[in-house]
């Protein structure tokens, strides 16, 4: 079981000194990865389904991970997730390739379609076609990262006759991890992703999601080059060794807990205790 840590760019970890201390502690303790979240803007005042108060600090994922790349050596650096349909895929591909280069090949690219209409409206991005934009953007990014003569032709994005160097260190590209709990997200993960990521799931929702992925695998073809679908979850249940074994039996290979910490000492204590309970 791989163990990650969620929230390395938000809350108290929006302070870069706290994020660096936390990432170093996680690496030393044996964590496999740290993960960012993303909302470019948050509704003010907060109202459902917004997940956070409007003044919650949240660094840009690429900036936060690039900062941590220079302060760690082994830790994988994950976006959990980037709201892909809000982004220009070529600009994002450049940003993430740069993170992979400066980290010497440690990026994990997690993405999702988003769910806050107010956020899309503020950015001037269509909410209604976010699914198709996401699927196209994945292929556009894959093209610019892997093709000798990058070209893509789609409804939302098109390009040819260009280059964007350097490409990522990881070949053919950094793992693409599709987040989300909808049938569309499950199909997208099977058809286009190296992995799938579910956020804040209890046992029942974890079971439902894994069944959803199995159902999607019967509906859409998975390209052989993607390899086995790696399943990761941020759990909404207490973690101990029995819980790890139960998740493993379900087919989960990465757990990314989200600590609720008010101070840096609280957060570092969570890292140490989790490592002692689960990794040693």
At 225 the three-state DSSP class reads helix
User: For residue 171, how many other CB atoms are within 10 A of its CB?
Assistant: 10
pLDDT at 224: 92
pLDDT at 209: 98
Which pLDDT tens digit goes with each residue over 234-260?
Answer: 999 999 999 999 999 999 999 999 999
pLDDT at 57: 98
Give the integer Cα–Cα distance in Å for 223 and 203.
Answer: 29
pLDDT at 280: 85
- Domain extent listing, the chain: 2-181+237-278
User: For residue 51, how many other CB atoms are within 10 A of its CB?
Assistant: 14
Both structure tokens of 226: 């993607």
pLDDT at 5: 98
Which pLDDT tens digit goes with each residue over 94-147?
Answer: 999 999 999 999 999 999 999 999 999 999 999 999 999 999 999 999 999 999
pLDDT-flagged residues of the chain (< 50): none
SS3 content of the chain, % helix, strand, coil (to 5): 45, 15, 40
Q: What Rg do the C-alpha atoms of the chain give, in angstroms?
A: 18
Give the integer Cα–Cα distance in Å for 20 and 17.
Answer: 5
For 70, 84, 216, 217, the CA distances from 220, given in Å and listed in that order, are 40, 21, 6, 6
Give the integer Cα–Cα distance in Å for 244 and 119.
Answer: 35
Task: Quickly name the fold that domain 2-181+237-278 has.
Answer: TIM Barrel (3.20.20)
**In 3D, which of 271, 130, 250, 151 has the Cα closest to residue 201?**
250
């Amino acid at each position: 079981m791989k163990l990650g840590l969620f929230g390395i760019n938000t809350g108290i970890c929006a302070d870069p000194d706290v994020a660096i201390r936390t990432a170093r502690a996680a690496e030393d303790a044996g964590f496999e990865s740290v993960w960012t979240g993303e909302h470019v803007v948050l509704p003010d005042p907060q109202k459902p389904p917004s997940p956070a108060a409007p003044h919650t600090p949240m660094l840009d994922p690429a900036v936060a991970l690039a900062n941590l790349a220079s302060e760690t050596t082994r830790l994988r650096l994950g976006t959990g997730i980037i709201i892909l349909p809000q982004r220009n895929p070529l600009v994002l591909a450049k940003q993430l390739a740069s993170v992979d280069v400066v980290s010497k090949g440690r990026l994990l690219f997690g993405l999702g379609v988003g769910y806050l209409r107010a956020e899309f409206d503020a950015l001037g991005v269509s909410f209604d076609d976010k699914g198709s934009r996401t699927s196209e953007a994945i292929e556009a990014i894959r093209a610019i990262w892997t093709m000798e003569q990058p070209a893509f032709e789609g409804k939302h994005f098109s390009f040819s006759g260009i280059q964007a160097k350097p490409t990522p260190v990881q070949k053919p590209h950094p793992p693409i991890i599709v987040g989300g709990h909808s049938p569309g997200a499950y199909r997208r993960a099977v058809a286009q992703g190296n992995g799938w990521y579910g956020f804040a799931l209890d046992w029942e929702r974890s079971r439902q999601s894994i069944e959803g992925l199995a159902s999607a695998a019967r509906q859409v073809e998975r390209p052989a080059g993607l390899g086995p679908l790696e399943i990761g979850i941020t759990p909404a249940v207490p973690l101990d060794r029995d819980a790890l074994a139960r998740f493993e039996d379900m087919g989960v290979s990465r757990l990314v807990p989200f600590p609720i910490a008010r101070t840096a000492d609280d957060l570092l204590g969570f890292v140490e205790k989790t490592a002692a309970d689960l990794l040693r």
